[in-house]
Amino acid sequence: MASQSSSPPADLDASGIPSDLGGLRGADLLSSADLGATQTRSLLLLAHQLKTGQRRIDLGGRMLGLIFSKASTRTRVSFTVAMARLGGQTIDLNPQVSQVGRGEPIADTARVLSRYVDALAIRTFAQAELEEYAHWASIPVINALTDQEHPCQALADYLTLAEVFAPTSSGQLDLERLRGLTLSYVGDGNNVAHSLMLTGALLGVNVRIGCPPGFAPDPAVLEQACLLASSSGATVSVLHEPVAAVRGAHALYTDVWASMGQEDEQENRDAAFAGWCLDEQLMAEADPRAIALHCLPAYRGKEISAGVMEGSANRIFEQAENRLHAQQALLAALLGGV
């Protein structure tokens, strides 16, 4: 997997700096498809450089507001630590402790907060609510998970894939090596699946979604991902049989069967997803080098077996760590640090 080549990977300029990130200054990240293919690759390269200590960026006292209407461990903490590492801070602006919870309009909240903080990371239910914040805010708005997408997660996920399948002897990543790999996601066609499809399509990774009938991804997102994939030479497909979905794949990925906000459907979903656990039998159908991924939190014995969670293919905790590095790169780009 490691390269013997000494030529610089694509997307690095002569001094080894990821290119095409300047255009992200002041931008929003509401969907994985808001990033172009080169921007996505450059963010992954910058994340890797930050992680390995090849780059340090100090944004100088910038402030990120966190508006989280749903629970979070990884996203909240990794954004907080990422800002601290960039020399900035975060402030919790949860609806329960702000006037948003008492009905203050988003239009007013977004305009006020834009005068205090430099960016907002928002975790909520409807994508339309996130879009309303972005419409009224004059600062970057970042999707920290909606019912529709989880773009920050997908950046960390493909960074993890690249660290395994695309390292070079010079300590960089050669993201061209991701082309032609297959990532198979087994489970609900949800927010995480949507962002995996879009970012995978941008990077030239084939993405297969394996799910029971009735739990397929949003057809509009599938169409968008297929369109992006047609430019990168990849494919995005949906299959309703687990073994066919994972056969020969290089990464097997799963997520909870009932997402936040679907707690009432838990029992029905547990029944519908019977036979869809990412277990040792499914891993055995994949490429021998295949890695196991999960965005976490995980429920052992449901969407993933304890054996896969703790087995040799597991890269799940590296993946969780990569949330920090990917978001540090993203914040640096949106806040003009690169």
Active-site residue numbers? 123, 150, 153, 255, 295, 323
As a residue count, the chain comes to 338
Cα 74 to Cα 53: distance, rounded to the nearest angstrom: 22
Long-range Cβ contact pairs of 70-73 (< 8 A, separation 24 or more): 70/123, 70/124, 70/125, 70/145, 70/260, 70/261, 71/260, 72/123, 72/144, 72/145, 73/296, 73/297
Q: Which of ligand NVA, ligand CP, none does 73 bind, CB closer than 5 to 8 A by kind? A: ligand CP
* The one segment of 20-28, 111-119, 210-218, 252-260 that binds ligand NVA by CB under 6 A: 252-260
Q: Which of ligand NVA, ligand CP, none does 254 bind, CB closer than 5 to 8 A by kind? A: none
Least Å from the CB of residue 265 to ligand NVA = 12
Residue 328 found at the interface with ligand NVA (CB under 6 A) = no
| DSSP summary character for residue 8 | P
Q: Which of ligand NVA, ligand CP, none does 27 bind, CB closer than 5 to 8 A by kind? A: none
Least Å from the CB of residue 112 to ligand NVA = 28
**256, 277, 286, 320: residue in contact with ligand NVA (rule CB under 6 A):** 256
Cα 148 to Cα 23: distance, rounded to the nearest angstrom: 25
Name the residue nearer to ligand NVA (CB basis): 239 or 296. Answer: 296
Work out the burial of residue 257: count CB atoms within 10 Å of its CB; fewer than 13 is exposed, 13-18 middle, 19 or more buried: buried
Cα 178 to Cα 227: distance, rounded to the nearest angstrom: 18
Name the residue nearer to ligand NVA (CB basis): 49 or 80. Answer: 80
3-state secondary structure of 207: strand
Contact at 8 Å (CB) between 116 and 140? no
Residue 194 found at the interface with ligand CP (CB under 6 A) = no
Name the residue nearer to ligand CP (CB basis): 49 or 195. Answer: 195
Contact at 8 Å (CB) between 185 and 254? yes
**39, 40, 42, 72: residue in contact with ligand CP (rule CB under 6 A):** 72
**41, 51, 74, 302: residue in contact with ligand CP (rule CB under 6 A):** 74
**54, 73, 89, 138: residue in contact with ligand CP (rule CB under 6 A):** 73
Q: 213: cis peptide before it, omega within 30°?
A: no
Cα 68 to Cα 93: distance, rounded to the nearest angstrom: 7
Cα 313 to Cα 332: distance, rounded to the nearest angstrom: 32
Other CB atoms within a 10 A radius of the CB of residue 250 amount to: 21
Name the residue nearer to ligand CP (CB basis): 69 or 75. Answer: 75
Residue 75 found at the interface with ligand CP (CB under 6 A) = yes
Cα dihedral angle (48, 70, 151, 92), rounded to 10 degrees? -50
**39, 190, 224, 314: residue in contact with ligand NVA (rule CB under 6 A):** 190
Residue 32 found at the interface with ligand CP (CB under 6 A) = no
* The one segment of 68-76, 85-93, 206-214, 228-236 that binds ligand CP by CB under 6 A: 68-76
Q: Which residues bind to ligand CP, rule: CB under 6 A?
A: 72-75, 145, 153, 295-296
Residues at the site binding ligand NVA, with contacts judged by CB under 6 A: 145, 190-192, 255-256, 259-260, 295
